[in-house]
Structure 1
Amino acid sequence: MTDWLDARMEDRRPGLLGWLRVALRGTALALVIYGGLVLLLLVRLVERPLCGAHRPVTPWITQGACRAALVILGLRFRVHGRPMQEPGAVVANHGSWLDIFTLNACQRVYFVSKSEVSAWPGIGWLARATGTLFINRRGREAKAQQRLFEERLAEGHRILFFPEGTSTDATRILPFKSTLFAAFFAPGQARGLAIQPVTVIYRAPEGEDPRFYGWWGDMDFAPHLLKLLAAPRQGSVEVRFNQPLPVEAFADRKALAQACETMVRAGFS
């Protein structure tokens, strides 16, 4: 049964109307994304010498472009709760590459991504321009990653990372890894930091596989994007901002990671 569903998801070919939707949505999406990128780079020419590492203006451009992208895709978007005002970080479950648009659309954050993404054609350039923090997940480089986190937190950036360590099929949540939480317990780290757990829930279009928006394993990006652009109906995505957790209330990274996982799962169910 599972093999049949996988084949159904991967082997579908757009019909004539499907290709028309691909052309219209794809063109509009490219204009919004890369038009926004050009605008961001132009503003950054002024923002960088005046503000240095701080980015008081350009994150608004990223947020606007991501909201427009969801409208173009036709994905209904709902938000519950509010992004925290405290300095710190955001953690969320990771079901799809769509998380980048979804989570940027409702807040201004800087994503943490695996280092390989920086070399992806087109996507890597976008990620670097928007201030993404690239890390290598190899254990021997944990200390270096921790320093990068500390530097960005000290600059006042609110970072967002996915503690599962990989994307899923968007119907489940994997156990949270505690490694990246260590930066918040480093000696000399600023006090008053908080972490806000966020739950992202995708609902497939009526009649489609529940994993319609999921992107996991060895799935290729291009066919998945094509499927979404060609779809005659779209589903919805819901973002739930849970109560921020003060870092000082937890004894160590493992306790904090577990508390975040518990809250994200509660929102997911």
Structure 2
Amino acid sequence: MIAWIRIVAVLVLIVLWTLLLLPVQLTSNRFGWKLSWYLPRRWHRVAARLLGLRIITHGALDTHRPLMIAANHSSWKDIIVLSCVADVVFIAKSEVRSWPVFGWLARWQRTVFIERERRRQTGEQVSEVAKRLADGEIVVLFAEGTTSDGNRILDFKSSLFGAAASALGASPTGSVSIQPVAIAYTHANGVPLGRYGRPLAAWPGDTELPPHLMGILKEGALDVHVCFGEPVRYDENSNRKRVTRDIERQVRAMHQHQLYGVDMPSSELLPSQSE
């Protein structure tokens, strides 16, 4: 009974918080105000507290602009987590636009939706991402192209980094910074999740949303680590596949370290600096 009271209270508070900020965000989007860059971070920070997400950061966000974040992806909560630590916009597959709740939130946060099957539209959308980067916005790319079970990192897709190349012409330094970021869910209510418990935090593609969301709300508290890796400078001489492998290697190393405490070579893993 107490669990259900908590669930109802959390949902009601999130709805009220959304209704409070939504008119301001929509107005900012309509008139192109920069407030629309920063307001989502406030929404996500409150949502994270209500959902019981405890975010521990390691390392620091790169100060170079244009900046793209390349992260692993295991759950819809990744969006809340990254939005809590930086003012970001996301790249998402076009299907997300039509999802209930998450599709609405994605549109309100000015997500760029990619039509991967339509090459002509993909080119236009890559140009939109490049424009966002050139304007100084931090763009998040989930480089696996789908969600994992939270225990492993899937292969990164080099084709998704095309927007970085498109933004080179507008960069004052002639380069785009791509920063690897690893997101790892490690504990629930202070207890290590373990290999078989981690899918509780993850949201693989074949998992139904309503029971998954109920499970998260009932759990009450999740620890998630966000690790910022060594930025990679992408310029006209860069090899896209080599850059992709370098970023993927860093994300794997940081993710492995947080889940299993495996020591990695210092060249692969930045020292932790929890905030």
The TM-score normalised by the length of structure 1 is: 0.84
Equivalent residue number for residue 18 of structure 1: 3
SS at match of 2:91: strand
Once the two structures are TM-superposed, the CA of residue 226 in structure 1 deviates from its matched residue by: 1.1
Once the two structures are TM-superposed, the CA of residue 150 in structure 1 deviates from its matched residue by: 2.3
Q: Alpha carbons of 1:215 and 1:126: their partners in 2 closer, same or farther (altered >3 Å)? A: same
Deviations 1:167-188 (A, max 9, x none): 1111111010001112323474
Q: Alpha carbons of 1:202 and 1:74: their partners in 2 closer, same or farther (altered >3 Å)? A: same
Alignment pair present for 1:240 and 2:227: yes
- Report the number of matched residues: 246
Contact kept? 1:204, 1:213, Cα under 8 Å? no
Q: Alpha carbons of 1:239 and 1:150: their partners in 2 closer, same or farther (altered >3 Å)? A: same
Pick from 185, 207, 213 the counterpart of residue 219 of structure 1: 207
Pick from 57, 68, 74 the counterpart of residue 95 of structure 1: 74
Spell out the pairing of 1:118-133 with structure 2 (5 A cutoff). 118-133=97-112
Could you tell me which amino acid in structure 2 is paired with residue 246 of structure 1? Answer: R
Moved more, 169-178 or 154-163: 154-163
Return 5+ residue gaps in structure 2 as ranges: 257-275
Alignment pair present for 1:62 and 2:40: yes
C-alpha distance in 2 between matches for 1:249 and 1:81: 27
Once the two structures are TM-superposed, the CA of residue 207 in structure 1 deviates from its matched residue by: 6.9
Spell out the pairing of 1:1-269 with structure 2 (5 A cutoff). 16-44=1-29, 48=31, 52=32, 55-86=33-64, 87-138=66-117, 140-141=119-120, 142-186=122-166, 188=169, 190=171, 191-205=174-188, 206=191, 209-231=197-219, 233-248=220-235, 251-269=238-256
SS at match of 1:210: helix
How high is the sequence identity, in percent, across the aligned residues?
34
Return 5+ residue gaps in structure 1 as ranges: 1-15
Could you tell me which amino acid in structure 2 is paired with residue 82 of structure 1? Answer: A
Contact kept? 1:204, 1:211, Cα under 8 Å? no
SS at match of 2:104: helix
Deviations 1:47-87 (A, max 9, x none): x2xxx4xx532222111111111111122111112212211
Once the two structures are TM-superposed, the CA of residue 189 in structure 1 deviates from its matched residue by: 5.4
Q: Alpha carbons of 1:155 and 1:107: their partners in 2 closer, same or farther (altered >3 Å)? A: same
Once the two structures are TM-superposed, the CA of residue 157 in structure 1 deviates from its matched residue by: 2.3
C-alpha distance in 1 between matches for 2:164 and 2:7: 43
Pairwise CA RMSD? 2.1
